[in-house]
Structure 1
């Protein structure tokens, strides 16, 4: 399943319609008909996202949203407020309460699903960085986050300069401490590469040509200097396909088209402020993880995490698996006949092989996967929220990419053939083995791979219950 979504609506027909739409997109759904029931569901099994009707029989959906966003354990759950009324005040009240979006019935299915994908991707990023930072904190390397947010610098890219200046006037009324800069497309790219580039961009979907704003966003997302900037796309409410594509391409949020109206300008600033707050948190977490771990818990040769980091992080992956009831994969990978490489070509060649193996692992695994060097030629890989079949496919691909291309020797005299053996096991779900036990199971599978001829994947098969 793509994620678990809680649908909260007192009208059974509305819940059924939403369930059908979401089930077709492979989402798991649970339902509640009141605020009390919704809070019980959240407490019993935390959903990945909540679709929350604004009018409930026992309380306001906005109050439920405010309560959940105030709780440390639930504030990270994306909440989309559902309303049958398109009045600006309801939208503003919902956003002030912390809602991630407000959707008006009847739903546009294309835009609904694009919004859910966007919010769930953002949640996954938030959780992964938070998980890595909490591991650092446990090891004593992460500093407390600063509570003060410096004023933001925001680039406005409108269809023309006059519109950009109008945007600046209206938005500055609600964000007086922040700096707004009107830019054209080329100026935005130049600013993004500067040392003091904008923290956020507000970009019209259509600039001199239809869709040009989306192409600009893609360009900004591809550059390291602006990859993590807030990028909000201004799109008309009837441009459903454009809005859906913008979200799928990585837009942080969508802003209403008429930014010259006070109500829509205030809505835009509420959305901007929420995204800037999230960016500050993520930037701080990235800095803590990067700076705190670089020397203490990384392998100086390969740049991968070492055992000191890997073990507590694997424990946190296991803990999250217990909460989400989703399995995770553990692999132990070992270079075949690595001693002969050192004996034949020297230790410099052995180091070159280890560095190249690490590079290939990084290139062929997800950002959320844990990759660590835990021994001389032994590596540990953990893949959160992964099935056995998916993990096996990845492991077999790793064997292929290692074997296909020999590693050049550092003196330029030739290249050395490299193969790896991999032991694989699965944790989580109905099994709650300690992480040491999971690594032992993967090691047993690795020994089977070596015994059967090397350069292959073996899976530890649990004995079936009697």
Structure 2
């Protein structure tokens, strides 16, 4: 389902120009001519991002941005401020008020859409992590203890003369630890070492391609994939800047860099990064003992049902389908009978590991019975579920499982049943929990059909909820 963008501008012609750009990218567009109307639109349309003109008829845009960022209901709502003035002071005031970006008129369509895509991706990540945190709360677990945040580790990657200028400027306005670094050093960070929290990447004019390659590499490597990335690019390199956002950069700053602006952007990115870390820690630490299976390390049934209910609730709002997959290890009883329970445990742990490795970070894999597994896949339609289910089947059947104490190997297969939950609203009557139970039953029936068809197969439920 397309994301919704709210345009807040008191001039209808400005709103029309921006709406045309967003329509071409197939976003849903809501409009407001003033702050009061914007608040009503936010309550009704629940937009995913706001494009806010800095001059409104009823309130200063800076004050309205502060209002949005100070409310718990809208604090996480991304805001792109739009200014008619190229004044650096106006840009700084907007960033201080909490704006995620400040664009100057006339708007460059490619730059605007790239920034919109980047902020929506970041918002989606927070939504997925928040979904898991809310499941944690629903199960009655305490919030993790608030941690003290010391100075951030900031890597500065640019030609030496540029790095020295950045470091000297930031030292006057920031207490973060500044680490000059070459590109080769950034790509050779040890997996067990303390990687920088944030990278500021700059290049000489005309050499932007090397910065783009570094952004792409850092975003894909395990040591740095969760780090914040800020690319410093010349004002004339708008195409390269837009590409950097699509490759995974979190933010952009124009060269020559103003130290105060860079410090504000670092502050904003570190606030987001620390929130993501807190949410991830909630999942890792708060749920581990009570809602995980001791043998496989997967989540158990107690976690799966409320998490699925929240996926259903989110799908009702976004219109995105989701999938429920039921898996059973074929002829598992024969493994225990012929080879012993130690061999059965080896099969369970190996299958669990292969399932986990084949899934996305946002997917849920739970062990819900002796040899039964339940998978929940948000934002997944029938085609996506079919692809993933077949990948899971092959991941298990493709290699035998080693038995304990070097006693040999055993071939293992799984049968898979899939049911699709439809987004866009629930039918009258059932709650999310009722819907989830119905989908789990539908996936189980599809699993039985896969068993009846000869095992080592994928079968889809004929109905969707």
- The normalised TM-score by structure 1 is 0.88
Matched, 1:420 2:415: yes
Instruction: Output aligned runs, 1:26-425, within 5 Å.
Output: 26-144=26-144, 146=146, 148-160=148-160, 162-175=161-174, 177-189=175-187, 195-206=193-204, 210-259=208-257, 264-410=258-404, 411=406, 413-425=408-420
1:194–1:209 CA distance, 2 compared to 1 (3 A)? farther
Between the aligned partners of 1:57 and 1:417, the Cα distance in structure 2 is: 68
Q: Which moved more, 1:450-459 or 1:45-54?
A: 450-459
C-alpha displacement of 1:325 = 4.3
- 8 A contact 1:142–1:288 mirrored in 2: no
- 8 A contact 1:425–1:441 mirrored in 2: no
Between the aligned partners of 1:377 and 1:409, the Cα distance in structure 2 is: 17
Name the SS for the 2:234 alignment partner: coil
Between the aligned partners of 1:11 and 1:405, the Cα distance in structure 2 is: 64
- The Cα offsets for residues 97-146 of structure 1, whole Å up to 9 and x where unpaired, read as 11111112222222222212211111111122222223224435453452
Q: Which moved more, 1:315-324 or 1:76-85?
A: 315-324
- 8 A contact 1:205–1:214 mirrored in 2: no
- The Cα offsets for residues 247-277 of structure 1, whole Å up to 9 and x where unpaired, read as 1222121122112xxxx22111111101111
1:114–1:363 CA distance, 2 compared to 1 (3 A)? farther
Correspondence for 1:7:
7
1:30–1:271 CA distance, 2 compared to 1 (3 A)? same
Between the aligned partners of 2:402 and 2:226, the Cα distance in structure 1 is: 35
- 8 A contact 1:396–1:456 mirrored in 2: yes
- 8 A contact 2:422–2:464 mirrored in 1: no
Name the SS for the 1:424 alignment partner: strand
- The Cα offsets for residues 209-259 of structure 1, whole Å up to 9 and x where unpaired, read as 543233333443344333322221111111122212221222121122112
- The Cα offsets for residues 340-379 of structure 1, whole Å up to 9 and x where unpaired, read as 3333444344333333332332333321122111111211
Between the aligned partners of 1:126 and 1:58, the Cα distance in structure 2 is: 32
Between the aligned partners of 2:2 and 2:352, the Cα distance in structure 1 is: 30
1:226–1:462 CA distance, 2 compared to 1 (3 A)? closer
Correspondence for 1:446:
447
1:428–1:186 CA distance, 2 compared to 1 (3 A)? closer
1:238–1:189 CA distance, 2 compared to 1 (3 A)? same
Cα RMSD of the aligned pairs, angstroms, is: 2.8
Question: How many residues are treated as equivalent by the alignment?
Answer: 457
Name the SS for the 2:72 alignment partner: coil
Q: Which moved more, 1:402-411 or 1:122-131?
A: 402-411
- 8 A contact 1:332–1:439 mirrored in 2: yes
Between the aligned partners of 2:401 and 2:287, the Cα distance in structure 1 is: 28
Q: Which moved more, 1:179-188 or 1:98-107?
A: 179-188
C-alpha displacement of 1:158 = 1.9
Correspondence for 1:430:
425
- 8 A contact 1:444–1:460 mirrored in 2: no
Between the aligned partners of 1:402 and 1:342, the Cα distance in structure 2 is: 18
Between the aligned partners of 2:447 and 2:412, the Cα distance in structure 1 is: 20
1:207–1:88 CA distance, 2 compared to 1 (3 A)? closer
Between the aligned partners of 1:207 and 1:188, the Cα distance in structure 2 is: 21
C-alpha displacement of 1:194 = 7.0
Correspondence for 1:458:
460
- 8 A contact 1:78–1:99 mirrored in 2: yes
Unaligned runs of 5+ in 1: none
- 8 A contact 1:427–1:438 mirrored in 2: no
Q: Which moved more, 1:377-386 or 1:52-61?
A: 52-61
- The Cα offsets for residues 383-442 of structure 1, whole Å up to 9 and x where unpaired, read as 223334433443344345444444454536344141312131315433254233332333
